Structure 1
Amino acid sequence: MRYQQSDPDVRLMLRVRNDDAAAFEELVRKYHPRLVRLMRTIGPRADLAEDLAQDTFMRVFRARHRYEAGAKFSTWLFTIAANVARNSARSLGRRQEVNEVDAPATADGSQAVGILAATALDASSLMPARLVEGSERGEIVRQAVQVLGERQRTALMLSRFENLSYAEIAETMGLTTKAVKSLLSRARVNLREILQPYIDAGVIPNEGSHE
């Protein structure tokens, strides 16, 4: 009852549970851009973001009759999205179809070196904001976060872009609040470490994934 009163999206989803197509369309319009942005970072490949977002909405629709308002709608939705992203990564791994050419910039800095460098510097408060302005900022952040491990990427995206609380991130990822705080702390430290050679000498280090 608490979430029904405080979260209008929960009320929309309860209408979806009763097969209200208009309510579902409203939720899709509201969350589609956010899901695509999230999937570009936590999914296995940026070019799959749209498909993964659509898969998430399909799962929401199929689960509508089982829906219970036990959390904010966004928390419930992002929990499904995180599971979709993980399943996609496992499927790609089993089939060994990861295409390094099409994948986001990796830690060797061969793609978008300046973007990756600027992102980590910006995220770690080591670079003046004037150097990263407008729409470029979002793309820069996504490139930098790709260097981090899956769980750190997910926690950082949910915190930085979706403004979820520690408790909400913990519920979404199936972790404790303490574990989420630790993940976010390590993510910030890793961003600084990854870009330290750039800070010192303008060179992107050849780093692997940071967990």
Structure 2
Amino acid sequence: MAISDTTAQRYTSSDPDVRLMLRVRDDDAQAFEQLVENYQNRLVSLMTHLVGKRDMAEDLAQDVFLRVYRARKRYVPGSKFSTWLFTIANNVASNARRSLARRQEVNLAARNSGEENFNGLEVQAVAASGQMPTRQLDKAELRDIVNVAIATLDQRQRMAVLLNKFEHLSYQEIGEVMHLSGPAVKSLLSRARANLRDVIQPYMQQGQKVE
């Protein structure tokens, strides 16, 4: 879809990262280094949640930046820079997950489905909560439980939650990243929240809720 001059000017004036990317388009190496610095940790964190392996997440983040650099000459600002970047990241992560699924097919077939996976989740979450009814969960424990719960979501729900809660993207921006309509994003997030509640609630009941 063509991007109008008015749209490009709006994002150029409002988003400093768009302005950095336009400098990258003009082969400004320092601007590219600044974008990497701005997004490296965020991308690695996102990819770690999506693929479950830190070393692989770091490689995928580098792949994303490589794609950004290769696309620099075609870049026209039609959205916030972060929206454009996470669209690339979503595509890279989807390709990586498909590759992982093919490699792990034999191993997955050998496992007991469902019950064994749930038991693994239960062990991790119970260990984090301590199963102590009178003890308040601290922030680190709560974070561990939430991370375990996020890992139980399907990939689309997980991506939507990460973009919404960790990257603070709007429904419209998530829709752009995931190629979904606004109502579809809202429905996806609603199902994800329900699934997260189902996982987290039993462990939260072991202690007092952290505000």
TM-score (norm 2): 0.78
The amino acid that maps onto 1:185 is: S
The Cα shift of 1:197 comes to 4.8
**Secondary structure of 1:58 counterpart:** helix
Between structure 1 and structure 2, the one with the greater Rg is 2
Indicate conservation of the 8 Å contact 2:149/2:199, yes or no. Answer: no
Does the C-alpha gap of structure 1 residues 93 and 26 become closer, same or farther in structure 2, counting only changes over 3 Å? same
The amino acid that maps onto 1:172 is: V
Tell me the residue number matched to 1:163: 168
- Which residue of 131, 134, 141 maps to 2:137? 131
Q: Does 1:89 align with 2:97?
A: yes
Does the C-alpha gap of structure 1 residues 193 and 138 become closer, same or farther in structure 2, counting only changes over 3 Å? closer
Pairing of 1:68-79 with structure 2 (within 5 A): 68-79=76-87
Inter-partner Cα distance in structure 2 for 1:99 and 1:52: 23
Does the C-alpha gap of structure 1 residues 24 and 167 become closer, same or farther in structure 2, counting only changes over 3 Å? same
Tell me the residue number matched to 1:39: 47
The Cα shift of 1:192 comes to 1.9
**Secondary structure of 1:96 counterpart:** helix
Inter-partner Cα distance in structure 1 for 2:42 and 2:177: 15
Tell me the residue number matched to 1:5: 13
Question: Where is the helix percentage greater, Structure 1 or Structure 2?
Answer: 2
Structure 1: any 5+ residue segments left out of the alignment?
101-105, 119-129, 203-211
Inter-partner Cα distance in structure 1 for 2:203 and 2:149: 13
The Cα shift of 1:42 comes to 1.7
**Secondary structure of 2:118 counterpart:** coil
Indicate conservation of the 8 Å contact 1:44/1:85, yes or no. Answer: no
The Cα shift of 1:131 comes to 1.6
Inter-partner Cα distance in structure 1 for 2:74 and 2:176: 18
Pairing of 1:97-176 with structure 2 (within 5 A): 106-109=117-120, 112-114=124-126, 131-133=137-139, 137-176=142-181
The Cα shift of 1:170 comes to 0.5
- Which residue of 161, 181, 191 maps to 2:196? 191
The Cα shift of 1:96 comes to 2.6
Indicate conservation of the 8 Å contact 2:48/2:57, yes or no. Answer: yes
The alignment's C-alpha RMSD in Å is 2.9
Structure 2: any 5+ residue segments left out of the alignment?
1-8, 109-116, 131-135
1:177-203 per-position Cα deviation (integer Å, ceiling 9, x unaligned): 10110111101111122345546789x
Indicate conservation of the 8 Å contact 1:12/1:23, yes or no. Answer: yes
The Cα shift of 1:48 comes to 1.4
TM-score (norm 1): 0.78
Q: Does 1:20 align with 2:28?
A: yes
Moved over 6 A (4+): 97-100, 115-118
Greater shift in the superposed pair: 191-200 or 6-15: 191-200
**Secondary structure of 1:131 counterpart:** coil
